[in-house]
């Protein structure tokens, strides 16, 4: 009997292994931001922030914050040597124009058709889509980062999203704290599962159609 325990660090660790040096990556606010902490030291990616920079660096030391230098969540950040600033039209030309390799974003729901919902719960909470619709439309690869289960134990992976969509048929990978899924042909394909979870546990706790990849393997993170 495996008891589910939410683990965002595992999700960030696994996603951080996807990138190669030189690739341009946009990390959404919240869970996706953690990914930056786990990128291997010999891999040098270029972080894009939709409020107008490439070459996003770590948070500044206390007292070194610059009111004119923030990320898309209004947190103070730094810029690395070789980085650049630009206006919002240029920022979204980069995003929509296919010049971002990966976008990593959090979800309320993600389904086996590659649909993703994360900007609106009608009647309850409407934060707005911000840059998420452009990022999911324009990026080469869209990675949904999410805990596998809701607090109430229900599956975040669905057959069909019930909330208004942020992206229609745009998600390529879903990385949760129990496994790595690729979306293809209207199904989740389980490629890796993370100890201590098992394939059986995942099939039992996911409210969607899953194909277990023939090379599916256990990964320790």
Partner 1 sequence: MTEKPVIDAAKAAAMVKPGDVVHIGGFLGCGSPDSIIAELVKLGTNKLTLVCNDTAVLDEKNNRITGVAPLIKARAFNRVIVSHIGTNPETQRQMNEGETEVTLVPQGTLAERIRAAGAGLGGILTPTGVGTEVELGKQKIVVGDRIYLLEEALPGDVALIKAKKADKAGNLVFSKTARNFNPLMAMACKLVIVEVEELVEIGSIDPDMVHCPCIFVDYIVMSKAQGGKK
Q: Which is nearer to partner 1, 164 or 211 (CB)?
A: 164
User: How far apart (Å, rounded) are the C-alpha atoms in residues 50 and 12?
Assistant: 20
Q: Which is nearer to partner 1, 16 or 167 (CB)?
A: 167
Least Å distance between CB 122 and partner 1? 10
User: How far apart (Å, rounded) are the C-alpha atoms in residues 95 and 24?
Assistant: 10
Q: Which residues are catalytic?
A: 50
Collapsing DSSP to helix, strand or coil, 33 comes out as helix
- Contact between residue 13 and residue 207 where contact means Cβ atoms under 8 Å apart: no
User: How far apart (Å, rounded) are the C-alpha atoms in residues 166 and 84?
Assistant: 28
- Exposure string of 65-81, with b = 16+ CB inside 10 Å and e = fewer, is eeeebbbbeeeebbbee
Summarize as ranges the residues that interact with partner 1 (CB under 8 A). 49-53, 66-74, 79, 85-89, 91-92, 95-96, 119, 125-134, 137-138, 164-169
Q: Which is nearer to partner 1, 130 or 141 (CB)?
A: 130
Least Å distance between CB 78 and partner 1? 10
Least Å distance between CB 12 and partner 1? 22
């Amino acid at each position: 009997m495996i008891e589910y325990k939410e683990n965002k660090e595992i999700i960030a660790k696994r996603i951080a292994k996807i990138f190669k040096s030189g690739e341009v990556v946009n990390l959404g606010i919240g869970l996706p931001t953690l990914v930056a902490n786990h990128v291997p030291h010999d891999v040098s990616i270029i972080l894009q922030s939709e409020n107008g920079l490439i070459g996003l660096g770590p948070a500044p030391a206390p007292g070194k914050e610059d009111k004119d230098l923030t990320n898309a969540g209004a947190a103070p950040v730094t810029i690395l040597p070789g980085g650049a600033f630009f206006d919002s039209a240029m920022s979204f030309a980069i995003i929509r124009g296919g010049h971002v390799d990966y976008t990593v974003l959090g979800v309320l729901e993600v389904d086996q058709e590659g649909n993703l919902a994360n900007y609106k719960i009608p009647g309850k909470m409407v934060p707005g889509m911000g840059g998420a619709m452009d990022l999911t439309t324009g990026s080469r690869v869209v990675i949904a980062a999410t805990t596998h289960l809701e607090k109430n134990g229900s599956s975040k992976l669905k057959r069909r999203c019930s909330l208004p969509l942020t992206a229609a048929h745009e998600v390529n990978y879903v990385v949760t704290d129990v496994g790595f899924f690729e979306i293809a042909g209207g199904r989740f394909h389980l490629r890796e599962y993370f100890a201590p979870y098992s394939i059986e546990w995942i099939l039992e706790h996911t409210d969607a159609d899953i194909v277990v990849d023939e090379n599916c393997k256990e990964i320790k993170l």
